[in-house]
Amino acid sequence: MMIKLHTILPFLLTATLAYAQDVATDAEQEDACAAEPLEEYNTKMRIGAIFIILATSSVGVFSPMLLHRISPYSEGSYRSWVLMVGKFFGTGVVLATAFVHMLPDAFEQFSSPCLTEGWLSYGAFAGVFCMLASFALQLLEIATTAHLKKLSKISKDNNTIGDKNSHSKGDMESGSTQLSINDRHEHGDQSSDHHHHVHTSGLLEHEDAHRHVGTYMLELGIVMHSVLIGLTLATTSESEFTTLLIALVFHQFFEGIALGTRLNELKHVSTFKVALMGLIFCLTTPIGTCIGLGIHSSFNSNSYSAVLSSAILDSLSAGILLYNGYVSLMSAEMNQCDAFHDQPALKKIISFASLYIGAGLMSLIGEWA
């Protein structure tokens, strides 16, 4: 039986269109993951951007340090107010950086068609890595506290044994009753002072340990993100470069303030070490930019490895900053801080305003960077 042409023609057209659509979809996915064509690349402008970012990062991170260290200042002085505003402003910046700059980028990267089906089959990988980073940071703080308590107990036991031996030796060698009594009184006073010092020192060590771990992890989260944005700055297109650079200038300045005010809170740490930590922050974005300059001709930001590594690093950085922002900064400095609750109402209002302004400005920058 002869099949009429008008009967099979619609079927053939439908099949052809479906096949063409599949081919177009595959080509589109391949194009999305292909390296972007090289445009006119202004190397001099990008080299200049390295020094611009370095300067603004340095001003942001070292200004709070200089204000804190140039000369002694009293509580309630002008510098005290400025540093307080900077500290809470920085807390807002940290939270906004995690929520607005890192997590959205991580979710977007994890949904990229350039990833394999295994990564695309589950849409919450960004949240998972963020959560894992927070859990890891909590375990690190708990382990640090347990280790310090163990060291404190050993030190206390050794001091107790030493004091007993000193008492016994003093009693045996005493040649005069009055002198022996006087010696015991003097030694008892010294021993009491020593025990008080050990106890206070132990408390300070625990507080300092939490502060140190939180600050080191805060810098780690910021540094990981800074390398990525430096790489992005070097490899972005000419049409977007100027806008991105302006946004990153404010981005790095605000992050510098956030880190600098936290570095001021570190006690029993040399000025050299604090300055070194500030310098590391200043150099990370320029280093990322230098790497981007060196590989821009062959770098494919849409490749599988580039997309996946960026997604994971942004997720981990977000988890670190969120844990620090809520636990080490907001909770420790405001919610559970008796000194903060005892402050006048005006000081509390300014603190909250600084927190919200920092978060708001950093969120605004998220429109461009």
Cα separation of the two ends of the chain: 68
pLDDT band at 254 (very low <50, low <70, confident <90, very high): very high
Q: Which two tokens stand for residue 157?
A: 């036991």
Q: How many Å separate Cα 70 from the centre of its chain?
A: 26
Q: Residue 4 has what DSSP assignment?
A: P
Judged by DSSP in three states, 102 sits in helix
Residue spans of the domains in the chain: they are: 41-140+215-365
Distance in angstroms (rounded) separating the CA atoms of residues 362 and 96: 6
Q: Is residue 348 over pLDDT 80?
A: yes
pTM of the model: 0.76
Own/partner long-range contacts of 265-272 (Cβ < 8 Å, ≥24 apart)? 265/87, 265/211, 265/215, 266/208, 266/211, 266/212, 266/215, 267/204, 267/208, 267/211, 268/204, 268/208, 269/212, 271/69
Residue-wise pLDDT tens digits, 120-131: 999 999 999 999
Q: Residue 36 has what DSSP assignment?
A: P
Distance in angstroms (rounded) separating the CA atoms of residues 255 and 134: 20
The predicted pLDDT at position 51 comes to 97
pLDDT band at 260 (very low <50, low <70, confident <90, very high): very high
Distance in angstroms (rounded) separating the CA atoms of residues 365 and 252: 11
Q: Is residue 54 over pLDDT 70?
A: yes
Nearest in space to 93 (alpha carbons), one of 257, 246, 233, 210: 257
